Amino acid sequence: MKRRHKGFFTFLQNVNLPPSIGRVDYFFVIPFAILLSIGLLILSSASAVVSFQKFNNTYYYTTHQLLFGFLPGGVICFIVSRIDYHYWRRFAFLFFILSIVLLLLVFFPGIGFGYGGAHRWIHVGPFLFQPSEAVKLTFLLYMASWLSTKGEKHIKNFSYGFLPFAVLTGIVALLVILQPDIGTMSIIGLTACTMYFIAGAHLGHVGLIGTTAVGLFFILISTASYRLKRFMTFLHPELDPLGIGYHINQALLAVGSGGWFGRGFGHSRQKYAYLPEVTGDSIFAVAAEELGFILSLCLIMLFIYLGLRGLHIARNAPDEFGKLVALGIISWVFFQAVINIGAMLSILPLTGVPLPFISYGGSSLLVLLIAVGILINISRQSRSNRS
């Protein structure tokens, strides 16, 4: 990657981050472990009321997150971190096919599971699994493999670069839209486009993608009344405060009532059946109410630091494939965190996207931990470790 957007990685070289220690980038691993631990604590508080109401067990959601997400994910993360990341490249095309199959399975009777008008889950024994969470990783690995085999000339070419990229990404995006899950579609699309840009895409093609995405966004809004109402609520949160605007107004009330130092851990008022989805996309609002502005800002800064450290790993990856995989993983986490927190602050429309490593969801946490394991392995083989 000698000539592809050198300015971007030149910028990264000027970011003052401490070098890796030994064979693992502990300046990534330790803050990540802290974030993961904080996530369990925040979930234990945010979910206490709804957990007791539904299951007569204050720690039901926390226990499930620990047993079916944190612990198995941690073990797999450790194993994956010891496996050469190049190993996954040989299964790249299989990953793409798997992505398509998983997204189709949610529509099959007896396998797929629907809730609230959405079809986003499949039955795996007694458990539910959300395929779109796995697709974030499988499609990312395929895209990294595909882009890394192209020369800069082919990537910039409309027929050999832009068109195949648009078709591949469009197929996955369409299947996610049909679920429907606009938030996940946005994350997959943004991650793929970031990888495509860094791999050497023509700026005109990137602009065309952006224009098409904006047009698609307005088409999706205009073809579904609930999306239009949600978008209008984003523009005017004061509209219909007891109806479609209830969620965002309660979230803003939670964030605002936290003040500088918060109400104290465990003392949120909004989690008492006032704020919807306190274990999912609204969990940051509960955290802000209990922790306050200063500690909430620290949580945001932790995400930002991990993003910068992930870019450091990408910059020092030994080859193009590793660089794109690392960049894809960190972009995915960053975009998802921005969309979630932005929605709770009414900076972005509500999309139902969970906060990475913090919101409840075994599928999400498990896949994220596998991705982090791959990222750690890339850091083990970074150029800084070889010098």
> How confident is the model over 291-319, as pLDDT tens digits?
999 999 999 999 999 999 999 999 999 99
Tokens of 311: 């870019």
Tokens of 329: 């993983």
CB atoms within 10 A of CB 171: 15
pLDDT at 346: 86
Tokens of 37: 């631990």
21: which strand partners?
A: 24
CA angle 285, 287, 290 (to 5 degrees): 110
Tokens of 241: 């405060």
Q: Give average pLDDT by consecutive 10-residue segment, the chain, 387 residues.
A: 52 46 78 94 94 92 91 94 92 87 82 67 72 90 92 82 90 85 88 92 87 81 68 66 77 91 91 88 94 95 95 93 96 94 88 90 90 94 63
Q: What is the largest CA-CA distance in the chain?
A: 61
Q: Which ranges constitute the DSSP H helices of the chain?
A: 6-13, 26-46, 48-55, 60-65, 71-81, 92-105, 131-148, 152-156, 163-177, 182-198, 203-222, 225-235, 246-257, 283-315, 320-344, 362-380, 383-386
Sign of CA dihedral 75, 36, 184, 211: negative
Q: What is the pTM of this model?
A: 0.88
302: which strand partners?
A: none
Contact criterion met (CB below 8 Å) for 309 and 31: yes
Question: Peptide bond preceding 180: is omega within 30 degrees of 0, i.e. cis?
Answer: yes
Contact criterion met (CB below 8 Å) for 343 and 359: no
Tokens of 346: 């009414």
The pairing of beta strand 118-124 with beta strand 112-115: antiparallel
Burial code (b: 16+ CB inside 10 Å, e: under 16) for 302-315 equals bbebbbbbbbbbbb
Q: Which residues contact 278 (CB under 8 A, 6 or more apart)?
A: 46, 47, 49, 50, 270, 271, 285, 286
Give the DSSP letter of residue 24: B
pLDDT at 381: 87
pLDDT at 363: 83
Query: Backbone phi, then psi, for 128, in 5-degree steps?
Result: -105, 140
